[in-house]
A and B are shown apart, each in its own frame.
Chain A
Amino acid sequence: MTAVVFNRRNLLAAGGSVLATGLLTSGVSGLLLPARASGLAPTESMSGGANNYRKGAPVVERIGKGGFWMSGTVRRAGDGAPLAGQRIQIWAHTVEGQEHEPQSHGATLTDKDGKFRLEMPQIIPIFGQPHGHLAYDSGEFKTVFLRPVMRSAKETSLEAHFVLQPA
């Protein structure tokens, strides 16, 4: 007959082995995670991306008088499936207003191929770089703020691409 005796020593040992198992499994799953996401990693927010963001920019046909095109795609992390009907908010310092001003903000929705395209006024350099701001902030997926920079201030279009992960 075997008597199971709990004393402090084997309790500690048991606890230690449980802890070790826990660490091991989490370690292993941590190692496995990139493999699962090997399809497509989610886009990280860019530093400064959220600067001068105004919540709830309205979906518009065009921001201001237009003349400049902001375009891009929205896909799902992992399998890269295009995400339709996603609301992308766009703002920038343009010839029609500064970044923080309401008329510089607008939003558009992605089509069935996960593509979006919004006409807006010409972006001009501010704070030393000609750049735009885009946000996905609708809740279903994790919020992402992007801040793409134009190669030249003379360009009349700019692209930004989102890969979203569930919130």
Chain B
Amino acid sequence: MKGWRLARVILIWAALALAIGAPIAIAAGSELLAWRGPVYILAGFAGIVALGLVLVQPLLIGGYLPGLSAYRGRRAHHWIGGALALAIVIHVAGLLITSPPDMIDALTYSSPTPFSPFGVTAMWAIFAVALLALLRRRLGLRPRTWRYVHMPLAIVIVAGSVVHCLLIEGTMETISKAALCALVLAATVKVMIDLQVWRKRRTLRGESIARQ
């Protein structure tokens, strides 16, 4: 029984490592890299890593990753959220250095590329969540209020990131990219169903019922 539990723990973590590691490894073998400068390459991989972190977030908060207590899962969710914001800053800054006019078009929603507005919208949603998370205590946001703010933004982040990524023709290989996107969507839908995020009152993993 104990052996099976350990095997399950290893299997889940290995699957997560594969889901994120494989797309990165395959992209690292892309022939397009030969014609890109180091800053552009860094920017691209920051984007791929960011998508991987978007997968980790719902898994952590849903408690699907074994070996992490609810408390540790939450702490990790906070830190990974910060890392996600940082990855996006590197992604955008790197692209801005690589081709300023293209990045400015994207940021001003006047880009000819259909994927840009999705990415930029997801970026603002990520920054908004990160900022609100930092100020959450100072603003005195109750858990319920926080959830009402965070959930729509989380949906924007997931949907925006997935569409952004799928429409891009770049270093990511098609199948591993689609698989990662599918996992991101599946994890998000699952956590939202499991935690019943739209119910007005409920108990969330040991957290007391939202104060009235």
Contact = CB atoms under 8 A, between A and B. Distances in A.
B102 to A, nearest CB: 5
Contacts, number: 53
Contacts of B102: 48, 51-52, 127
Given A125-B170, A128-B167, A93 B112 contact: no
B10 interface: no
Interface in B70-113: 95, 98-99, 101-102, 105, 110-113
B152 interface: no
A127 B116 CA distance: 9
Contacts of B167: 128
A48 B111 contact: yes
Interface residues of B, number: 19
A98 interface: yes
Contacts of A94: 35
B169 A48 contact: no
Interface string A136-160: 0000000000010100010000000
A130 B113 CA distance: 11
Interface core residue of B105, B113, B167 (most chain A CB under 10 Å):
B113
A51 B101 contact: yes
A125 B167 CA distance: 13
A99 interface: yes
Contacts of B98: 98
A49 B112 CA distance: 9
A47 B169 contact: no
Nearest to A125: B169
A47 B105 contact: yes
Interface in A20-47: 46-47
A51 B99 contact: yes
A138 to B, nearest CB: 22
Report, nearest first, the 5 A-B pairs whose CB atoms are least far apart: A51-B101, A128-B168, A48-B112, A47-B112, A125-B169
22 contacts: A47-B110, A48-B110, A48-B111, A48-B112, A51-B99, A51-B101, A51-B102, A51-B105, A93-B35, A94-B35, A95-B35, A98-B35, A99-B99, A100-B99, A124-B35, A126-B99, A127-B113, A128-B113, A128-B115, A129-B113, A129-B169, A153-B169
Given A46-B112, A51-B99, 15 more contacts: A47-B112, A48-B105, A49-B112, A50-B101, A51-B102, A52-B99, A52-B101, A93-B35, A100-B99, A124-B32, A125-B32, A126-B99, A127-B102, A129-B169, A149-B112
